[in-house]
Chain A
Amino acid sequence: MNAETAMNFGKNIISVRDMDRKTIEHILLTAKKIEEMPQNKRMEIARGYTVASLFFEPSTRTMLSFDTAAKNLGCSVIGFSGTESTSVKKGETLADTIRMASAYSDLIVMRHPLEGASRRAADVSAVPIINAGDGANQHPTQTLLDLYTILKSKGTLDNLTIALAGDLKYGRTVHSLAYALSFFNNNKLLFVAPKALEMPNDLIAELDGKIETEEATITEALKSADILYMTRIQKERFLDPQEYEQLRGTYVLTKDMLENAKKGLKVMHPLPRVDEISTEVDSTENAIYFTQAKNGVPTRMALIAMLLGVLK
């Protein structure tokens, strides 16, 4: 890797906590450049490089997105999804698996069920690590693709009101996004969540003084937000199934509700969606969740190319 790249954002992408405004802007600008390139030119960016895709727990969506990103850059991809047929099953340590994979590849993309696994991998790896999710902790490339989606639809990452709705307690996606948005200027976060799934106090304390936050109902959020970021409320989070049944209806976005929304409101969702956004919303101008998923590819291409040192 050339010195300039290393200086700008380090060797690995592990956590949003390692980033800052400048780093994020640099990554998103690179994603835009890549997206605007003709495909034959993109294929030359990292031709001959090998990306190891180590999914210690399966995640079809994320794995396909990284796979596509690597192949679109001209890289070859090796790896596994699930540990059934690997030496991990025989008791190999994470450190040894990473040492082995880093001997065969130029970059490692990894997802692991344990928190901190990517940081640990970075301790022993000879090649850059991209964290594709470590337990309930971080999923930084999801945050970057979310920011890229907001930037593309709003033209800025400053002066925005972003409503985060659904499971704000356990949803790592919304935690990282809230944190990342605090690097930018004059944004406001609206938290829309049932009492049992409110934003954790630790995170609120961490955001204090960096970004304005406020609790809101979905109706209030629709009136003032530029972005409504929906997440899935998972049944298994509730001790009382009745409580879940009562709540699920309150957090369903329908086409009717959008009639009173602020002009230009965009609806995002990390997917998979279950029933929190009614399918009739899909065809509205507000819905950008499928574009959001698609934006994962150029964002991940930018990260791979930058960490390989083939793009500054």
Chain B
Amino acid sequence: MNTDNAPKDKLAITKIMFGTVIDHIPNKMSFKISSILNLQNSNGAIAVISSAKSKNMGKKDILKIEGRHLNSSELDKIALLAPGATINIIDDSKVISKTLLSTPAQVSGILKCFNPNCITNHEKTTTKFKTVSRAPLKIRCFYCERTFDEDILERMIK
């Protein structure tokens, strides 16, 4: 890392050539997202920037992931936990696309139903959840019709 020109009181993190930068993550949420994306087993460099100053958010987190782009189910998971986050796809050191995440209307196969009596926990079924409210976030299981709040959501992610 070339830090020679960086001011002494600033944290310097180099640009990535190829990969993904997730910006505008709610404060401290990057650790959960890292774990969901299984970044601890990643080969490329990972930068977790937490509690960075933000004009709009007060404090925010940023995740830099070298060497990989995210698939749609990974994006759905992040969108559920951090709606409002931006996904910057980096190729050849340039941002080639920037997407603002919003809570998906429906997600398929990425969550496990938290109702032990739901059929999906007894028989192999692709789970489906529908968003019934965005703020506060509430989702409903397509099968057992149970509604779940934001606070339980992290534990439901497969």
Which residues of A approach B to under 8 Å, CB–CB?
15, 17, 93-95, 112-117, 119-120, 123, 134-138, 202, 206
User: Which B residues between 111 and 158 are near A, CB-CB below 8 angstroms?
Assistant: 113, 115, 117-120, 122-125, 132, 138, 141-147
The answer to whether A135 and B125 have CB atoms under 8 Å apart is no
The answer to whether A136 and B117 have CB atoms under 8 Å apart is yes
Among residues of A, the one whose C-beta sits closest to the C-beta of B133 is: A205
Subset of 27 A-B contacts with CB under 8 Å: A93-B123, A93-B124, A94-B119, A94-B123, A114-B117, A114-B118, A114-B119, A115-B117, A115-B118, A115-B143, A115-B144, A116-B113, A116-B118, A116-B119, A116-B141, A116-B143, A116-B144, A119-B119, A120-B119, A120-B125, A120-B143, A134-B119, A134-B144, A135-B144, A137-B146, A138-B145, A202-B138
Interface string of B80-107 (1 = CB under 8 A from A): 0000000000000000000000000000
CA A206 – CA B132 in complex, angstroms? 9
Specify which chain A residues have a CB less than 8 angstroms from the CB of B124 in the assembled complex: 93
CA A149 – CA B150 in complex, angstroms? 39
CA A113 – CA B145 in complex, angstroms? 15
5 further contact pairs, Cβ within 8 A, besides A93-B123, A115-B144, A116-B143: A114-B117, A114-B144, A116-B118, A123-B125, A202-B147
Q: Is the interface of B mostly helix, strand, loop or mixed?
A: loop
A15-B145, A135-B144, A202-B147 in contact; A115/B125 too (CB < 8 A)? no
Which residues of B approach A to under 8 Å, CB–CB?
113, 115, 117-120, 122-125, 132, 138, 141-147
Among B113, B118, B119, B123, the one with the most A-chain Cβ atoms within 10 Å of its Cβ is: B119
Taking the closest CB of chain B, its distance from the CB of A179, in whole angstroms, is 11
Taking the closest CB of chain A, its distance from the CB of B140, in whole angstroms, is 9
CA A114 – CA B120 in complex, angstroms? 9
Specify which chain B residues have a CB less than 8 angstroms from the CB of A95 in the assembled complex: 123
Among residues of A, the one whose C-beta sits closest to the C-beta of B124 is: A93
Taking the closest CB of chain B, its distance from the CB of A133, in whole angstroms, is 13
CA A95 – CA B122 in complex, angstroms? 11
Among residues of B, the one whose C-beta sits closest to the C-beta of A200 is: B147
Specify which chain A residues have a CB less than 8 angstroms from the CB of B113 in the assembled complex: 116
Taking the closest CB of chain A, its distance from the CB of B126, in whole angstroms, is 9
The answer to whether B117 and A120 have CB atoms under 8 Å apart is no
The answer to whether B120 and A116 have CB atoms under 8 Å apart is yes
Q: Top 7 closest A-B pairs, CB basis? A: A116-B143, A115-B144, A116-B144, A116-B119, A114-B119, A120-B119, A117-B119
Specify which chain B residues have a CB less than 8 angstroms from the CB of A206 in the assembled complex: 132
Specify which chain B residues have a CB less than 8 angstroms from the CB of A113 in the assembled complex: 117
Among residues of A, the one whose C-beta sits closest to the C-beta of B147 is: A202
CA A15 – CA B141 in complex, angstroms? 13
Specify which chain B residues have a CB less than 8 angstroms from the CB of A15 in the assembled complex: 145
CA A84 – CA B141 in complex, angstroms? 30
Specify which chain A residues have a CB less than 8 angstroms from the CB of B144 in the assembled complex: 114-116, 134-135, 137
The answer to whether B145 and A17 have CB atoms under 8 Å apart is yes
Taking the closest CB of chain A, its distance from the CB of B146, in whole angstroms, is 7
Specify which chain A residues have a CB less than 8 angstroms from the CB of B120 in the assembled complex: 116, 120
Taking the closest CB of chain A, its distance from the CB of B124, in whole angstroms, is 8
Taking the closest CB of chain A, its distance from the CB of B94, in whole angstroms, is 44
A114-B118, A115-B119, A120-B119 in contact; A137/B125 too (CB < 8 A)? no
